[in-house]
Amino acid sequence: MDLDFLQSLMGGEEMAAAEAAYQDIWVVGEVSGEGLTPATRALLGKARDMANALGVYVKGILFGAQEAAGSEMISYGADTVYLLEGVGLGSFAVEPYVEALARQIESGRPEIVLFNATSFGGELAPRLAARFRAPLFTHCIDLGVDEALRALLATVPRLGGEYYEILVSPTLRPQFATVEPGVLPAPFADPYRYGSVEHVSYDDLPPARVEVLGPFPEGLPEPPLSRSRVIVCVGRGVGDEEGVELARRLAERLGGRLAGTRGALDEGWISEEQLIGMAGQTVRPALYIACGAAGAIQHMLGIARTECLIAINTDPKAEIFPYADLGVVADAKAVLEALNAALAGGS
Amino acid sequence: MRIAVAVKQILDPEGITVNRRRERIFINREERIINPADKCALEAALRLKDAHGAEVIALSLGRPSADDALREALALGADQAVLISDKALAGIDAPTAAVVLARAIERLAPCDLVLVGQTAADTGGDQTAGRLAELLGLPQVLHAVTLSLDGERLKVVRLWDGRPIMVAVAPPALIAVSPLAPPARYPHGARILNAYRQMGVSVWTAGDLGFTAEELRPNIESRGQVFPPERELGNVIEGAPEQMAGEILALLRQRRLI
Ligand SMILES: Cc1cc2nc3c(=O)[nH]c(=O)nc-3n(C[C@H](O)[C@H](O)[C@H](O)COP(=O)(O)OP(=O)(O)OC[C@H]3O[C@@H](n4cnc5c(N)ncnc54)[C@H](O)[C@@H]3O)c2cc1C
């Protein structure tokens, strides 16, 4: 008789029993002025797909008596929403929030708990994962499930997103993940979906130990250009100050920064710190929009690691075009104006 | 004040090339550096030491080569260095690494502050700080950019979803320092020599910290790598400005840049 085999069989059964105790996918939501944040909605859509694959429920978690946002969670895919209430859960503080969520997780035993990879999610998820000695996958760009293992498949960025790795924890439960806002597709809301919103109240939560004194009064020095995700670059071809202003506005709209070429520096449109290239800064943004920049090699050296380069230049033979993901033969100012107008229109 | 700073040694990302078409990762230059955010954490500790006096203990979990990272910390101004290194720790996963670090920090007790870097530049890991705070029972301030002592409390400017806010916390506390915080100083030449000739790095094994190999076995597996599509360059279009703007926005949406 193969004792090892028997033992592994029994161990396997025990494990299956323990696993069965953990089920459902939870989404810890965030609310902004107009209801659920777009990232929370997208997370619910993803959770719904995974729950369908596993044959389990999606449960939403919100802090405070947020009934409207609770119903919204149901329309995006939750079956049940828990509104966690209690002294200390009014405005965000790590200790009471972690404690309330930990108690909820202990009693509800979810197999997967999802957060947005925002500051809110980033404060809570690691502490909870540590408390349950559970895996946590941070800044995921995609999620899936291994149905055979009933395990979460998490796609996480490596080397700042140069490539991705798919990670799985076959046995540890619950599994935690934070998902990068803006990477999951927006789901459709179904206002007729049925679900329940339940109030759960917690007393005797621990007090916050960090006091928020308010926004930093003087404002911080801006982070270096080398950290910017989006850069709008002006070259001499942007024409004049007005063109530079249009580029600055576009950068702002895209949450990015203005930079420029040597040509722009010589025109006095940008400062020394904004110069990109051999004599200036080396950057690696996700998006670089070059407006009226020739594409001189000394400039291009500074942007070799750009993820997506868009170049606007009137000269169809401009040196920059072969480097660009998209080259646009047009007047830079006119295109900037149209871009700003389109983005201001909210589309 | 006694400050423990955790530093991780990583392969310099600048020496690594990712070839998307061939779906391979090439290490061109095997240079090991202190993870940039951890180096900012070290600098934050040294600034507190400069201003108020403090004992700074650098701590690293890693392979024997992490000795260099700790010598660098000593050269920059740390007073003591501890390397947690053991064959049993190879391939350790994030949940367990935090448990090991927490036990090492407990062994260094009492520490008024535990400083760590917010994120790891290689794995993108963004959880050790919160895990350590929980395991050590400490309050946490994440994404810190500047720290100053104000009486009994520490005032910290931190980023919340990228926007700066000011918070206060009384030690003992854990502070995770953002890679956007002030970068580290340059070491003094004489201190570099000193760090190798006169100062020591204590080495702790898994056994010293009371762990068995079984407890350290990784529970997280890789199912392989995914490479973003290779860029296709040189696509040039021409047309009216509004139409061109439309094409640009379509590309941005497709690449999920807006
Ligand atoms: C040692 C050395 C170091 C250097 N280092 C740097 C550096 O770090 N960074 C840097 O940028 N340069 C550097 N240069 C300078 C570099 O060689 C180029 O001269 C400079 O980048 C050109 O800037 P530009 O593209 O703005 O201007 P220009 O070369 O004048 O190009 C203007 C472009 O705008 C286009 N254009 C004109 N009108 C329009 C319009 N209405 N709409 C759209 N496009 C239009 C033109 O077709 C042209 O391609 C360096 C040079 C040397 C010798």
Asked if the structure places residue B226 within a domain, the reply is no
Identify whether A135 is preceded by a cis peptide bond (ω within 30 of 0).
no
> Tokens 């799985």 sit at which residue?
A168
pLDDT at A346 over 70: no
Contacts of B125 in chain A (CB under 8 A): 138
Q: Tell me, what's the pLDDT at B119?
A: 95
Averaged pLDDT for residues B78-90:
96
- Summary mean pLDDT of chain B: 94
Residue A33 banded pLDDT, cuts 50, 70, 90: confident
Q: Where does chain A hold its CATH 3.40.50.620 domain(s)?
A: 22-201
pLDDT at A9 > cutoff 50: no
Q: How far is A62 from chain B (nearest CA, A)?
A: 19
Q: In this predicted structure, what is the pLDDT of residue A218?
A: 58
pLDDT in tens, B136-161: 999 999 999 999 999 999 999 998 88
Residue A332 near ligand 1, beta carbon < 6 Å = yes
The pLDDT confidence band at residue A160, using thresholds 50, 70 and 90, is confident
In a domain, B42, yes or no: yes
Residue B178 lies in a domain: yes
What is the domain range of residue B114? 2-204
> What separation in Å is there between the alpha carbon of A74 and the centre of ligand 1?
54
Distance between CA B204 and CA B210 in Å, rounded? 10
State which fold the A225-346 domain adopts: Rossmann fold (3.40.50)
pLDDT of A222 over the 90 cut: no
- The DSSP secondary structure of A49-84, one letter per residue, reads HHHHHHT--EEEEEESS-HHHHHHHHHTT-SEEEEE
Q: Are A212 and B166 inside 8 Å of each other by CB?
A: yes
Q: For chain B, first and last CA: distance in Å?
A: 46
Residue B221 lies in a domain: no
Closest C-alpha to A236, from A340, A323, A320, A337: A320
**Is A132 within 8 Å of chain B by CB?**
no
**CB spacing of A167 vs B237 below 8 angstroms:** no
Answer whether B25's CB lies under 8 Å from B17's CB: yes
For residue A255, the model assigns a pLDDT of 79
What's the average model confidence in pLDDT over A288-317?
95
Which one-letter DSSP state was computed for residue B190?
H
* Percent of chain A residues past pLDDT 70, beyond the cut: 91
Instruction: Look at residue B164 in the predicted model and tell me its pLDDT.
Output: 83
What is the predicted pLDDT for the residue at A298?
94
How many other β-carbons are positioned within 10 Å of the β-carbon of residue A2?
8
pLDDT at residue A200 tops 60: yes
Let me know if residue B172 belongs to a domain.
yes
Listed by number, the residues of chain A in 180-239 with a beta carbon closer than 8 Å to a beta carbon of chain B are 182-183, 209-217, 219-220, 223-224, 227, 230
Q: pLDDT by residue (tens digit) across A230-287?
A: 999 999 999 999 999 999 999 988 878 999 999 999 999 999 999 999 999 988 888 9
What number is the average pLDDT over the span A309-336? 97
pLDDT at A223: 63
For A71-75, what is the mean pLDDT? 97
B232 lies in some domain: no
Within a domain: B241:
no
Three-state DSSP at A315 gives coil
H/E element, B25: strand B24-27
pLDDT of residue B5: 98
Q: What does the pLDDT look like over A101-124, one tens digit per residue?
A: 999 999 999 999 999 999 999 999
Does residue A8 register a pLDDT over 60? no
> Which pLDDT value is given to residue A216?
66
- CATH 3.40.50.1220 residue spans of chain A: 225-346
pLDDT score of B63: 95
Q: What is the pLDDT of residue A12?
A: 47
Which of B142, B235, B256 lies closest to A122 in CB terms?
B142
Which of A17-26, A207-216, B43-52 has the weakest average pLDDT? A17-26
pTM of the model: 0.81
Residues B96-133 have pLDDT tens digits of 999 999 999 999 999 999 999 999 999 989 999 999 99
Confidence at residue A19, expressed as pLDDT on a 0 to 100 scale: 46
Query: Which fold, A22-201?
Result: Rossmann fold (3.40.50)
The mean pLDDT value for B47-64 works out to: 97
**Residue B243: CA count within 13 A, CB half-sphere:** 7
Q: Among B92, B106, B125, B94, which Cα is nearest to B174's?
A: B106
Calculate how far, in angstroms, residue A330's C-alpha sits from the geometric centre of ligand 1: 17
Residue of A262, A269, A291 to test ligand 1 pocket, by largest number of atoms within 8 Å of CB:
A262
C-alpha–C-alpha distance, residues A277 and A300, integer Å:
6
Percent of chain B with pLDDT over 70: 100
pLDDT value, residue B42: 98
Residue B67 in any domain: the answer is yes
Q: B200 is written with which tokens? A: 């020591």
* Total structural domains within chain B: 1
| CATH code of the domain containing B110 | 3.40.50.620
